[in-house]
Structure 1
Amino acid sequence: MAAQAGMVGTGHAQATADTGSQAQQAGRRNYDVPEGPLAPALRGFASAANLPLSFVPEQTEGKRTAGVRGQFTQQEALAALLAGSGLLAVRLDSGGYVLRSQPAPADPAPAADARVLPAVRVTATAERETATGPVPGYAARISATATKTDTPLIEVPQSISVIGREEMEARGAQDVMDAVRYTPGVTTSTYGPDNRGWEYILLRGFDAGVTGIYRDGLGQPAFLPTYYLTEPYGLERVEVLRGPSSMVFGKGDAGGIVNRVSKQPGERIREIEVQYGSFQRKQLAFDLGDQIGNNTDLSYRLIGVGLDSNDQDRYPDGRKLNHTRSYIAPSVRWQPNATTSLTVFGEFLRNNTAEDPYYLTQNYVRYPIKVGDHSFGQLKQTSSAIGYRFETALNDAWTLRQNFRYSQIDMARRAVWAGSLGEDQHTLSRSARTWNDPVNLTALDTSVQGKLQYGSVQHTVLLGVDYSDQKGKQRRFIGPAPDLDLFAPVYGQAVTMPTDPLSNLAQSTRQTGFYVQDQIKFGENWVATLGGRQDHVRQLTDDYLDASHTRQSDSAFSGRAGLTYLLGNGWAPYISHVTSFLPNSGVDANSEPFKPSRGKQIEVGIKFQPAGTRTLFTAAAFDLRKTNVVTYDPGTGEGRQVGRQRSRGIELEAKGELVPGLNLAAAYTWLDMKVLDSADPGEVGKIPPLVPRQSASVWLDYTLGNGLGFGGGVRYIGKRQNDESNSTFERGVTLVDAAAHYERGPWRFALNISNLADKKYNSICYHGECYEGIRRSATLTARYRWQ
């Protein structure tokens, strides 16, 4: 008997399957076949299941499958793949299968030498991954960061890494730098631990801590030295797109971006978490979500965090550097049907910390003497945001999306800074400084996506416009502070609030970008990704100290062209060419405004995501160039836009579940970065500071059947230059991390230790100012989930 397959209920498929004795004997196993064209999905499944399967190309031409993921028998998985295709799997006496069109009700019965699988209901739930939802395991399959469309990672012709919530929790990540430090091409904590919460991240050697900060696809305000703070407990994913990305996001540096993806409402969750750790770290967090009422279209999510912790540093008199944080993030989603949704969200974060990461350093030797004073130094920062995400299907082919966010930062900062040593070589002069640098950003991105097909050619077309308007102010003052006797330092001295103005300006930066992208699939194997974007940037600066008003306008085109070949069985080699631009403030010696710096990259690589597994292996080689870099003549101090930098290298990454219960995250980077041209001849041919030539990491986590698990990781950070002239360097360092966890019923307990051996090292001694690396820290976490 034959029956047409179809979807029944949420996450369940009605499919054809063999209910005879052979099916009863067949064991279930995990299958993981992604959504996509039907033919390669069938071939991938047949290979993973070692199952003979015959069909002709005409049968599957133009047809797609929703994929299958979860525990199935071979027959159930095959039937679910064919759901809605109009095809039946006919079992042959040889044990293999052949595809047949579904017969009409009046059609004669199948031939006697074949049996059509009777209809059964498959009750196994398939895990459906979305671009903004949880990552099952360590290896994601889908992302929207690289293309602004839900695209399988193996079809993206550029390096992208996804770190999901499960991996972040396994490694005990306490900030975004912790989350991405096992990722290739990434250098984190370049200035050691910073209890202020600021993130220092390099991508392929270029700074991503200012222009590379994104949240849910929209930029976040950054007005040096003001950084938008991120609470990692509120994130579902962290996605690292490496290489120029202006075609997608507009202005940005050449190294790429880090996109933080927020937890979304929609599913029922009840979670409370308590942490206690080194340096008196105490944290309480909760995550609540559910439908609003019964049988409604509304759902909510509410996330909260309270933190009180000290820093690894302390003053010689024993005074500790304290850090407190409070965070709340509510969101509500309205989803009247499967094709329309509106999510409204808010976020508020208050961060109060001490402000003195500076130690006395002489001849690249760091002494245990703080140069500031706890009676004065402090940082009070609040960050808030409100916005929405809207999506609706206009018809069967076109979808409209709009993403809006308004963010703001208020920062009050004050510190005591070191001056010079007196003639006695132990009296240190000091100055007091204050910063009041508020900034806000309005960002809006509107796009329409169309799925079109002409014969065997499929198009995913994206047309959009995004707009951002950032307004920031700088009000900074300087004044004298008491001297410090290095032989007998006294802290807690009275410091007068400074009154001499250093800076008093207002600056607004407005950007409008128009972009178009087409992801073209030729048949079943070739995928071309083509895109272009035109940006217009206008910057107005009012300097109230010298009563000047400057206006600077820039216009730039950015593009991307990539080609991917889907070999089958999960293999996908690719090649791409991408560009970027980054506006520069100021004028040259001829009072001409600086042009934007430009980045361009050629990348070749291969991705391997075997069907039926939760693994992803990638390898990439790239040549990245940045031009129009502003450099300064050492003799005259004049800015000259003649700088050129080159970054080229190889990146390897492996992520996923090797065997049931054993997860892996491994990375290796070889980076050859040099200054090719500069107004300072001493920089030419040298390696920029902070950038390691090699880095490597491997993390393994194994969970036993009884809920007990262990994890461990090794990180190697290679040799790093301390200054532009490469006069000194920091040697490579190897660090070890460890974890143990136990899960039973609604409870999960975990112990995470970073830098297990308590290795002492300097992350960098930039121009003689040494920053100690992160010391050993341990954190105990207890989590309780209930229904």
Structure 2
Amino acid sequence: MDVSPCTPPRAVRLDEGHPVLVFRADPSLQVNAPCCPASPDPGQHHGHLGKTEFQSMLFTTRKRLLTLALAGCFGTLLTAHHPAALAQAAHQAVDIQLPAQGLAGALAALSSQTGVQIFAPGDLVAGRTAPAVSGRMTPQQALNQLLDASGLRAQPGTSGSFTLHSAPLEDSALPPIKVQARAILEEAQGPVTGLVARRSGTGTKTDTPLIEVPQSISVIGRDELEARGAQTVMEALRYVPGVAVDTYGVETRGSEWVLMRGFDTAGTSVLMDGLRMASSTWVNFQSETYGLERIEVLRGPASVTYGQVEAGGTIHRISKRPDVNAPREVVVQTGTYGRKQVAADVGGSLNADHTVLYRVVGLALDTDNQLKFANGDRGSNERLYLAPSLMWRPTAATTLTLRAERLHNVTKGFSVYVVRNNQNTGLLRGDPDYLRYAQEQTQLGYQLEHHFNDTWALRQTVRSARSTVDNHYINQLGGPVGNVLNRSARHADDHLRQTSADTNVQARFGQGRVTHTVLAGLDWTHAQADYREYHAPAGTTPPLDLDNPVYGVPMPTPSVLAASQLTDTRQMGWYLQNQIHIDQRWVVTLGGRDDVVKTNLHDRRNELKDALRDRAFSGRAGLTYLASHGVAPYISYAESFVPQTLRTSTGDPYKPTRGKQWEVGLKVQPPNQQSLFTVAVFDLRKRNVETYNPDTDDYGQTGEIRSRGLELEAKTAVMRGLDLYAAYTYNHVEVTRSDDIDLGKTPIQVPRQMASVGLDYALGGVLQGLSFGGGVRYVGQRYDNPENTRATPSFRLVDVGVRYERGPWRLALNVANLFDKHYVASHAYGGYYPGAERTATLTGRYRF
């Protein structure tokens, strides 16, 4: 251990007159040691200078700990080159290891390990002790633990600094408010307190500030989900730019129909806790919204991080995880269509040192829905959900999280309205006594994270998932003939199994003005889909008389095998990424990935087998400039690919579809403010799109679709208690290459313009506890056919909510489509898909 004396620091006085010493660590961070200090920010501290004597001890970089003992007075300050860096350090979770020691030494070590400024008046810290603090947390969280029971409090200042003060008597007598630290910052996978998120792992697989990711990302946290009363992922995405949801109207099975930047992402771009979810003919892995901590929407290609995903973007669902500060609550809900729901979220620590945490989330739902048959019967939905999880932290550097999930979802299926002479008849083609869509879903997995030191970290995520769908439905055979609609009773049985693993190593290092965050990883997935479908014998299904409909009639048993196919897909991808920070101003993001996908197809009905192999390289490059006041312009290029399982008429396998995008944007997130403003302009092209050639009566991959647009998003706390969120989308999507009639046209169901605005206001004074909010959303017209000769009109909808909180109790009323506007979501392919009618939910919550 080397011991080096330092020139005595200068002492200044705070406004209260308390002396404080100021120290500065070596900016290169090669040795975390105190050296001759600079004066504190004159805007914060005033007074005249004095003299003092002290000794300091300098530890090597292996320890990175700073200990200083003073008699009578002490202060510490760790500075950086630019205020933006200091503010960022204050909002960044890091690995902290502080032994039990004197408060002065603990504050010095905390500054050294985190890079934050801490002003500590000498007479307040002298003679005080601090407990041991370890784990991954923000500086504010660590500081709160150090000051627990000390009678002191830390007041955040400008540019990420903290100043220690004596806590008022009434404050020091109260237990610590644990949620205070969470309000300062969240981790990439943790809760978002309030409306605005600051960090995300979706775009880079690293814990990165949103303004440093050179792509558009929207984050919807738990608080926003509850304020808007979102019951499904689709409802949660209604106010997100660039995303069109419910494209087929009311979806009663739980399936998700989403367009992102004009491209269909259903079943191809679903992420859950960092891993991609597969899909098959009828199976799409569902997410229970109550079990989610946050939903993140990454717009544009993302194959460099996740492999085969659609060009329009990805939707990442992040589950609730064990947390010592997790709420313990019981929720009861009722609403329209006889909705009855009860849910619970219970968690905490299983031992005194909080190294073993647990959480159990459960829900039970029984409700009808808006689908109504002519005999008065309605569609129904029954759902059971259970998600236990366990987190173990054997050391401050290691975290293992185990998570399981079970979902049972049964509905009366999905039935389409019958159209006759281009007019909706108001009749559903199915039968309420026959329709049944039952999905059973199970997931089991773990997340392991280990930090070897300040530089190296290892992460691994593994999950095994299984989902089965038993679907009884009725299809129509052509259009109505007079007043008769011929039908066919059918039964589909679909099983999907998927095992996925993602392992990566992260290194953070740098020298001088350049720092690197390098990520190298390998992910692998194996999906097996076993699909069978049976049809009723021809002519045995009773037709539907459109003039005199009769429901509840017996249906024949589907016994004719129509399809039997086994699909086995294995994908392996290697990826490398480097986030380079230069002068704390420039962020260069570079990434590349190589994927190999092998697919084996077995058509058991016709005894045909096929084997396909695809390989694709995907890249990304981005440049972000971190200007002052949280302003960050950026430019990026990204690619995507999705393998195909078809062959041409000549026997050649289809190529993967490829997406390429240029994006230029601006993000603004002022430090110490709950705000995020985003502007993005993009040019996205998808190639190798299948197209029909009427001259040869054949299909090929000569198609290309181009999507250009502008997206605006604002989330901000306008003032205390008032949150505002707004979004606008202009999206010009055009088929630029095709052999068919859609050349130069807009693909069906794609709105050119969308807009939304909403607010949430919490009253104060004598009305404290009462909040209200609402929003307006607009969706422009959409074309119904490839030749763009028919269009579905635009619509505007109003949503409102009001809630009251008192102590542990909360009562909330949310109404979607307040004025019960009847609108059409789509006429695609000549069908009729109505939009969601007015729904109201009354929610009671008790926390304990």
What interval of TM-score do these two structures reach, taking the shorter chain for normalisation? Answer: 0.7 to 0.9
State whether structure 2 residue 829 is matched by structure 1 residue 767.
yes
Paired position in structure 1 for 2:331: 273
Paired position in structure 2 for 1:134: 191
Equivalent of residue 698 in structure 1, options 757, 763, 782: 757
State whether structure 2 residue 612 is matched by structure 1 residue 592.
no
Paired position in structure 2 for 1:245: 302
Deviations 1:115-159 (A, max 9, x none): xx9975788953331011111211100000000000000000000
Q: Tell me the amino acid that sits aligned with residue 688 of structure 1.
A: P
Paired position in structure 2 for 1:96: none
Paired position in structure 2 for 1:368: 426
Change (3 A) 1:339 1:81: closer
Three-state SS of the structure 2 residue aligned to 1:83 is helix
Paired position in structure 2 for 1:624: 684
Paired position in structure 1 for 2:62: none
Tell which deviates more after alignment, 425-434 or 464-473: 425-434
Following the alignment from structure 2 to structure 1, what is the Cα–Cα distance between the partners of residues 451 and 805? 41
State whether structure 2 residue 632 is matched by structure 1 residue 575.
no
Paired position in structure 2 for 1:709: 771
Following the alignment from structure 2 to structure 1, what is the Cα–Cα distance between the partners of residues 466 and 211? 36
Change (3 A) 1:652 1:50: farther
State whether structure 2 residue 318 is matched by structure 1 residue 261.
yes
Answer whether contact 2:657 2:689 (CA < 8 A) is retained.
Answer: yes
Answer whether contact 1:589 1:638 (CA < 8 A) is retained.
Answer: yes
Three-state SS of the structure 2 residue aligned to 1:563 is strand
State whether structure 2 residue 802 is matched by structure 1 residue 740.
yes
Q: Give the TM-score normalised by the residue count of structure 1.
A: 0.87
Deviations 1:300-323 (A, max 9, x none): 000000000111111100011110
How large is the Cα RMSD of the aligned pairs?
Answer: 2.7
Paired position in structure 2 for 1:481: 541
Task: Report the number of matched residues.
Answer: 713
Superposition pairs of residues 113-132 of structure 1, within 5 angstroms: 125-126=180-181, 127-132=184-189
State whether structure 2 residue 205 is matched by structure 1 residue 177.
no
Deviations 1:560-606 (A, max 9, x none): 00000001111000000000111111111211000001000000000
Equivalent of residue 633 in structure 1, options 655, 668, 693: 693
Deviations 1:256-297 (A, max 9, x none): 100000001022431000110111111100000011133352
Q: CA deviation at 1:23?
A: 9.5
Deviations 1:20-60 (A, max 9, x none): 44899xxxxxxxxxxxxx9xxxxxx989x89999xxxx973
Tell which deviates more after alignment, 582-591 or 769-778: 582-591
Q: CA deviation at 1:512?
A: 0.2
Q: CA deviation at 1:363?
A: 3.6
Q: CA deviation at 1:394?
A: 1.9
Paired position in structure 2 for 1:293: 351
Q: Tell me the amino acid that sits aligned with residue 366 of structure 1.
A: N
Paired position in structure 1 for 2:596: 536
Superposition pairs of residues 267-346 of structure 1, within 5 angstroms: 267=324, 268-295=326-353, 297-346=355-404
Q: Tell me the amino acid that sits aligned with residue 499 of structure 2.
A: T
Change (3 A) 1:90 1:548: closer
State whether structure 2 residue 576 is matched by structure 1 residue 548.
no
Paired position in structure 1 for 2:209: 152
Equivalent of residue 290 in structure 2, options 233, 239, 247: 233
Superposition pairs of residues 305-454 of structure 1, within 5 angstroms: 305-420=363-478, 425-454=482-511
Following the alignment from structure 1 to structure 2, what is the Cα–Cα distance between the partners of residues 496 and 118? 77
Q: Tell me the amino acid that sits aligned with residue 282 of structure 1.
A: K
Q: CA deviation at 1:483?
A: 1.1
Deviations 1:627-683 (A, max 9, x none): 011122345542201010000100000012111101111100000000011231x01
Q: Tell me the amino acid that sits aligned with residue 211 of structure 2.
A: I
Q: CA deviation at 1:442?
A: 0.6
Change (3 A) 1:565 1:591: same
Answer whether contact 1:65 1:82 (CA < 8 A) is retained.
Answer: no
Answer whether contact 2:13 2:46 (CA < 8 A) is retained.
Answer: no
Change (3 A) 1:347 1:200: same
Following the alignment from structure 1 to structure 2, what is the Cα–Cα distance between the partners of residues 608 and 546? 58
Following the alignment from structure 2 to structure 1, what is the Cα–Cα distance between the partners of residues 375 and 738? 45
Following the alignment from structure 1 to structure 2, what is the Cα–Cα distance between the partners of residues 650 and 137? 27
Q: Tell me the amino acid that sits aligned with residue 494 of structure 1.
A: P
Following the alignment from structure 1 to structure 2, what is the Cα–Cα distance between the partners of residues 87 and 297? 29
Paired position in structure 1 for 2:127: none
Change (3 A) 1:64 1:440: same
Q: CA deviation at 1:87?
A: 7.3
Q: Tell me the amino acid that sits aligned with residue 335 of structure 2.
A: G
Tell which deviates more after alignment, 740-749 or 367-376: 367-376
Q: Tell me the amino acid that sits aligned with residue 702 of structure 1.
A: Y
Deviations 1:510-535 (A, max 9, x none): 10000000000001210000000000
Following the alignment from structure 2 to structure 1, what is the Cα–Cα distance between the partners of residues 299 and 109? 34
Tell which deviates more after alignment, 117-126 or 316-325: 117-126
Equivalent of residue 525 in structure 1, options 566, 571, 585: 585
Paired position in structure 2 for 1:603: 663
Following the alignment from structure 2 to structure 1, what is the Cα–Cα distance between the partners of residues 742 and 479? 29
Following the alignment from structure 2 to structure 1, what is the Cα–Cα distance between the partners of residues 479 and 611? 42
Answer whether contact 1:221 1:408 (CA < 8 A) is retained.
Answer: no
Deviations 1:704-726 (A, max 9, x none): 12110110100000010111111
Q: CA deviation at 1:200?
A: 0.9
Q: CA deviation at 1:356?
A: 3.5
Q: CA deviation at 1:420?
A: 3.9
Q: Give the TM-score normalised by the residue count of structure 2.
A: 0.81
Answer whether contact 2:420 2:479 (CA < 8 A) is retained.
Answer: no
Structure 1, unaligned stretches of length 5 or more? 1-15, 25-37, 39-44, 71-78, 92-116
Three-state SS of the structure 2 residue aligned to 1:60 is coil
Change (3 A) 1:50 1:486: farther
Change (3 A) 1:66 1:493: same
Change (3 A) 1:426 1:87: closer
Q: CA deviation at 1:336?
A: 1.9
Following the alignment from structure 2 to structure 1, what is the Cα–Cα distance between the partners of residues 348 and 744? 58
Q: CA deviation at 1:181?
A: 1.1
Paired position in structure 2 for 1:689: 748
Three-state SS of the structure 2 residue aligned to 1:178 is helix
State whether structure 2 residue 281 is matched by structure 1 residue 224.
yes
Answer whether contact 1:61 1:456 (CA < 8 A) is retained.
Answer: no
Paired position in structure 1 for 2:785: 723
Structure 2, unaligned stretches of length 5 or more? 1-10, 20-31, 33-39, 48-77, 93-106, 122-161
Q: Tell me the amino acid that sits aligned with residue 644 of structure 2.
A: N
Change (3 A) 1:82 1:201: same
Three-state SS of the structure 1 residue aligned to 2:470 is strand
Deviations 1:142-190 (A, max 9, x none): 0000000000000000000100000010000010011111010000000
Q: CA deviation at 1:370?
A: 1.4
Following the alignment from structure 2 to structure 1, what is the Cα–Cα distance between the partners of residues 718 and 163? 35
Answer whether contact 1:362 1:768 (CA < 8 A) is retained.
Answer: no
Paired position in structure 1 for 2:111: 83
State whether structure 2 residue 838 is matched by structure 1 residue 776.
yes
Following the alignment from structure 2 to structure 1, what is the Cα–Cα distance between the partners of residues 359 and 413? 34
Q: Tell me the amino acid that sits aligned with residue 256 of structure 2.
A: E
Three-state SS of the structure 1 residue aligned to 2:542 is strand
Q: CA deviation at 1:194?
A: 1.0
Following the alignment from structure 1 to structure 2, what is the Cα–Cα distance between the partners of residues 623 and 444? 33
Answer whether contact 1:65 1:81 (CA < 8 A) is retained.
Answer: no
Following the alignment from structure 1 to structure 2, what is the Cα–Cα distance between the partners of residues 286 and 118? 39
Three-state SS of the structure 2 residue aligned to 1:247 is helix
Three-state SS of the structure 2 residue aligned to 1:587 is coil
The structure richer in strand per residue is 1
Paired position in structure 1 for 2:733: 673
